[in-house]
Amino acid sequence: MGRGRGTPIAFPGTEAAKRVAAVFGTVAWRGKVFRPGSGDLKNLISILAIPAIRARVYRQASWLDGQECIVLDYSETSRVAGWIRDEIREASPGLYLGLVYGVGRVFGGRRLLDVSFALSFPPPTGS
């Protein structure tokens, strides 16, 4: 629930990974705001963190291993990202790791992309 600070993960384990995270994570994509009441989220885009690019949020079996995950589904909510499906899981309290799938003809159905991300949420107040 609420605002998760986003960190893109590309070229893991390389020096380029830090640069991509710093530049892309500051200029283009800042994270996501989850709205449990409406079952959706909006991505925070640009250095101004403008809420845009909506996705439905629900639990389902992961395409990776069949275990439960949280799906971020853009197929019915976004013309810009309708070909994306994200899957996230909590790795430690307040830290979620995400995989990105490309979906559709361009990807031959569905394909795990070489891009992932992290979302970090502040601890609940009073903790």
Q: Are strands 95-104 and 84-92 parallel, antiparallel or unpaired?
A: antiparallel
Q: Which of 24, 26, 31 is nearest to 5 (CA)?
A: 31
In this predicted model, what pLDDT tens digit does every residue of 71-100 receive, in sequence order? 999 999 999 999 999 999 999 999 999 999
Tell me the HSE value of 50 on the side-chain side, using a 13 A CA sphere.
8
In this predicted model, what pLDDT tens digit does every residue of 54-64 receive, in sequence order? 999 999 999 99
Please tell me the pTM assigned to this model.
0.91
